[in-house]
Amino acid sequence: MDQLLPCVASLRLVDHHCHGVLGTDLDRDGFESNLTEAESRSPLGTSLFDSSLGLAVRRWCAPLLDLPPLAPAEEYVARRRSLGAAEVNRTLVSAAEISTFLVDRGTWPEGFAGPGTFTGSREHLVLRLERLAEDVVPEGATGFPARVREALDSSSAVAAKSIAAYRVGLELDPARPSDAEVVAAADQWLTSGSTRCADEVISRFLVWEALDRGLPVQFHVGFGDADLSLHKCDPLLLTDLLRATAPLGVPIMLLHNYPFHRNAGYLAQVFPHVFVDVGLATHAVAHQARRVLTEALEIVPFGKFLFSTDAFALAEVYYLGAVFFRRALSDFLAAGLREHALAQADAERIAHLIGWENAQRAYRLE
């Protein structure tokens, strides 16, 4: 890390939302397909290396694999294959200097491993709510609510995650659904023949049940793959639900939020149980992360902002998420110090809050 404030450079981050690391070697097409939220790179002759994230891989990851900064893409992929996935994963995930990972295993293809496998860092489970529903609904609609509750009661997860943004959008009715409504929705789902949980009643039932058990609930918000409709993913659509759940006092975590990160910041300020991050936007915008982080922090109480990578498959994304987060946070705090907007002790406290203390407090991590 170069030119970072010491209080940021020394952070052992808590990544409060990530996924697994792919343990198999990749050719160029396979590698590039994991540099995008699209299903694959475009067949029209473009390359994902010609993007902010692609440039960041060449600039920051190449030296860790004993290549010069900005080595050509073909050389980078060839070097990656020659070292082997295990060595690349160990090198890059370790370089991120993340002490704790909260891992969403809702999508876990063959060959995936937890990031802690390569670093010895702690891992905690995040329970994907829609996957839970999909696992228990085949046994029938009548007992569906009870089976969901039993699964939640027996889970070792430190948090739950809703992907309502992908399935039904975020404009959820704030009312807690009755068991009769949930059974009717489950019956309709089973009758449809679909294996995919995409019912608004079930989505909010899952959220309420997780919150009832004191599990912080993460919501995917904003930027994601083509399976979502972005206009239905503005966090402001959750306002009524946030108002209804506030009395429970259980944290709700708004993930990613880009390009709605200012809206998310407003919600974190006005609702006591709402926390936010910029997640995958950090590595997606890469060298522009300072601007996004600064916008996100405009009105957010510093005790309500967290770090996450949302890394999936590529070890590079763990490393780059941490690199650009540290650089952006350091620049933000350094600007405040230059402008005498904060003291050195303030900078150190804010860095610790955002880097790990907020996550430790919100998720009650030991």
Distance CA(160)–CA(148), nearest Å, equals 13
Distance CA(157)–CA(250), nearest Å, equals 15
CA angle 6, 1, 55 (to 5 degrees): 145
pLDDT on residue 226: 86
What is the average pLDDT across 221-244? 95
Q: What pLDDT digit, counting tens, does each position of 337-361 carry?
A: 999 999 999 999 999 999 999 999 9
pLDDT on residue 46: 84
Distance CA(171)–CA(178), nearest Å, equals 19
Distance CA(360)–CA(366), nearest Å, equals 7
- For residue 9, give both structure tokens: 């450079």
What is the average pLDDT across 176-202? 98
pLDDT on residue 2: 60
- Note the CATH number of domain 6-24+95-362: 3.20.20.140
* Amino acid (1-letter code) at residue 84: G
pLDDT on residue 1: 45
Cβ neighbours of 191 (radius 10 Å): 9
Distance CA(352)–CA(335), nearest Å, equals 17
Q: How confident is the model at residue 275 (pLDDT cuts 50, 70, 90)?
A: very high
Q: Note the helical H segments in the chain.
A: 6-9, 28-33, 52-56, 73-83, 85-95, 129-136, 144-154, 164-167, 179-192, 200-212, 239-245, 261-270, 281-285, 289-296, 315-338, 344-352, 358-362
Q: Are 265 and 300 in contact (CB under 8 A)?
A: yes
* Amino acid (1-letter code) at residue 60: W
CA angle 122, 293, 320 (to 5 degrees): 50
Distance CA(148)–CA(134), nearest Å, equals 10
Domain boundaries, the chain: 6-24+95-362, 26-83
Distance CA(51)–CA(195), nearest Å, equals 35
CA of residue 142 relative to chain centroid, distance:
34
The residue behind tokens 């409709």 is: 229
The answer to whether residue 264 scores a pLDDT higher than 90 is yes
Cβ neighbours of 51 (radius 10 Å): 16
Handedness of CA 173, 176, 182, 186 (dihedral sign): positive
What is the average pLDDT across 232-255? 98
User: What global pTM score does this model have?
Assistant: 0.97
Least confident among 44-53, 130-139, 209-218, 302-311: 44-53
Q: What pLDDT digit, counting tens, does each position of 113-145 carry?
A: 999 999 999 999 999 999 999 999 999 999 999
Q: What pLDDT digit, counting tens, does each position of 70-124 carry?
A: 999 999 999 999 999 999 999 999 999 999 999 999 999 999 999 999 999 999 9
